[in-house]
Chain A
């Protein structure tokens, strides 16, 4: 063990692989020293496991209705009670993890690269390219995200795909801003000039040398944004514009429980706890990642 550790922490790594693994090892060590970040990582891990193994974790079917057992309070049989159609809420919450994870990942996959590329191009070329791209970015940034997403869903029509597209549209400008700021600090560094003098095209400089260096601040920002994305998706589901029934989406589940809130409180309350815990997990993890990857911007503990 000790030799592996020495190899990982070697000050002069002999291969690219060793350097990368060593960096990963140092980061994970630093992350493990931060208790809140570990709690966050565990929550996110639990979300992923729940999504992967939903059929084994759920105790009932998430969609089979049983009207005889409708609106039963939490018990040993139904851990979170049942909803107005007799479905087990625990099982629906577990399956809902799949939908939440899918939304969050798709939004990140759609929005982060777009923002990254736009920001890097604006920062690298500067001048009027920068002015036009950042003008557009700022207009999107100046709108409240939820309202923007709502209006886009209204035009595109309700449904989970459109909700994902709308949230991605509302999310990318933040990433463009960050990527531009990072690019501006990298653009005039000597290694970029060196690559340019070797005759590398702008495309090559941006893709091979600028984008990889933006990635750590992007990872932080995307993780911190996850909570906001989950809340927006749940909000769209709550209003009835996101995931449609019978999909067990957490926001839509809360919306169904609204009519029973005064007596059968568990129907609306339980999925809400899932949202709060998962969002909080992403917040903790994002805060921890920021402290580790970007010490100069972290809050003082």
Chain B
């Protein structure tokens, strides 16, 4: 016989039927059911199959420790979630449930991306109580009444814990009446929060506890709480153990406490004829309770009497068990192999465990963090004891957090409760037919692993429980060994001739229960996965069809195609405009750092390879920074605003690292320097006006500014009013052309851009993006940090000895004198001119010496292409490259072997291929 619904009883709402399907069969349950209780009530015996054996498997437990009833659940909204324990799924209308054979399925709801929404919450409290059973409730009452900020979390849909599945009484009233009163009191405490459906999944260092709260009726599916708790009370309960014997996996064999929970809480009669097989006192009222529900008790087999169940018979449902050699017909076997305190979180918190012989299990030993354990998690199994310990621990935790006097409140009296007494464990029951039956003695049902597997592992020479776990896979499945871990350890110990507690248990790893990727990812998906940074001019770029590229977190216009125009054509057009007339670029993303203080010049001397202390107010200078290892770290133009003030620019991607670098040296090495560094990247918008007509544009916009070559020379800056807006104008150039970088407050960035566009219209002013910028600078041999450099390139490698001081020390200067840095065959920056002026060498392509045999491998490589473009100015392609001893190779040929087997031959030249005499920069 299979399970049936009892005519009454249980905490389900029989007025709210819910329909669902299981493997296509329509079924009905009630609100308050779990999927497991509903399946059982519908007479379903087989819910899954052994992952390797294919043997039928039924419901074993009533909670998170369930190893068998693992299903794929598709909700009414189409979201399909794999590998859910039916014992932890609240029944809801329209679930489509499918059995699994060990592996779940990932499915997209149609073509749509699963947008499951989960939130993260952060909370601080004085006392966190994990578990809302009797011990946890008592602890929460004690802590809450003290005034401590208390959070009580419980994984279930209502408070009460095991009391929900028993008929215990307190002060001669139903225990659940007390639970209701306690819950009411806690809810009314102003500093106390109760989270239901909230599973504490991890206990990290520094009292950082993660709690996954399911929210079936909310706009988000769940919230991942990061709770920083002053004190933690773990009242996490205990899991009953199975007993290992031959064919112990048959549907109908279940944990004794689970059977009573199905009966009392869900009103499900799990079978008709039962044998109870126990090792302890926790089952002592079971027979009476089952009898009352109309279940015939065939036998009660107690290991303490020397009796044992050694086998089972049946097909998809238990038909009989073998008791002391005799066949006893039954459809239900309730087992209690002892209890495992739920020490997962305690262990994750780095608390140590000890073996307890009387309870035959591991108990918390010594806490390392501010951790307290109460109730059955601490090996206290009688209701009275749980309440008293909970109250004491709760009061103590509150007192240690600074609340109350530590004296526990009075708790109601329980009448004995469910003490378990001494446990007489039986780790596996020898089969009459000998070791061959061990392949049917299942230790880990979810992994289909048996005593035979453990025997094989120990026989292979393995003596560590971690090795045995890995050899057998026991404890590695979704239940993470909740029912099997202690048993496996004890079985292995027995086979090795050791005491049951000798081997320990494998490390308990977070999370305590499986949690979906989406739950953890939370809102950090899509556009929120990383902040998007845009400049104040972004609306114009978008309106004018810019194609963007990601540069760090920034979106930068890469080019501005006209209708039907290719990228190549657009970039050639943009470059030509800058070289022949005027172009304009949004350079606002450049890092900008305001340096103030009397020692700012001295400081810059130390961080740049070249000197800045003597830079005149009103002047600008290009500088290179190295890391202490001598490699190029960043570059940019820094201008002197006043004797004690500089405006530094950095590359877009390095703005934050450069500021960090400056702060580190200022604060930790040279605290005596009176300098303050402040990021002003977001404060300034920068409009770069570039090209021979840029002076004309600026003259229109700033009539009072002397823009003549002599009045406003190269590498100087002016404070001025431009288009009616206060501005700093820098006459610097990243293209070799006459150019002005107009800096205005970010608020005015878009306005300034539009003014420049309007003023430049008559000259055909052309907006250009990063691609044209790259071409223009490459034509001048200017490197891009991170493109020409990769952390292995020195300023000397870039041909920039001129920017490296020989007379002053700077960060990294000593490294330049190491043997490796003086090698003549270091890779040095050169330009390449392909023999075929149409041939574009792919960026990144490796280079080999002319005449190199390409027929065998490896081919000796002498460099690689860092940048490669079509030059509108030259009417040909060119590239920048790092080539071994490149400076001595000008005029030589070099070969780029391409992926398709062809080659491009090129001449090596000086890196400056346009205007080597700098004739263009004055316009």
Partners in one complex: no
Interface residues of B (CB under 8 A from A): none
